[in-house]
Structure 1
Amino acid sequence: MLNEEKAREDLQEILKGREYQIYQNDSAGLLETWWNQVKEWFADLLADMFPSLEPSKNFAGTTLTIIIIIFSILLLLLIFILVRNGKRRKTLRQNKPLQTINEMHWSYHKHLAEANKLEALNDYTTSTRHMFLALLLYFHEKELLKARIWKTNWEYYDELKKVNQQWASQFYHLALIFDEVTYGKRVISKDEYIQFKNEAMKWLIEDEELRKDNRK
Structure 2
Amino acid sequence: MSVSKGILLKKLSDGVLNMEEEAVIEACNEYVEAGYPAFDGIMEGLVDGMNRASQLYEDEEYFVTDLLLCSDAMYEGLSVLRPHIPSNEMEREKPKGVIGVVEGDTHDIGKNLVKIMLDTAGFDMIDLGRDVPLQNFVDKVKEVNASFVCMSTLMTTTMGGMGTVIELLKEAGIREQVKVIIGGGPISKKFADTIGADGYSSNAVEAVKLIKGLLEIA
Larger Rg: 1
TM tier, shorter chain?
A: under 0.3
Larger helix percent: 1
TM-score normalized by the length of structure 2: 0.23
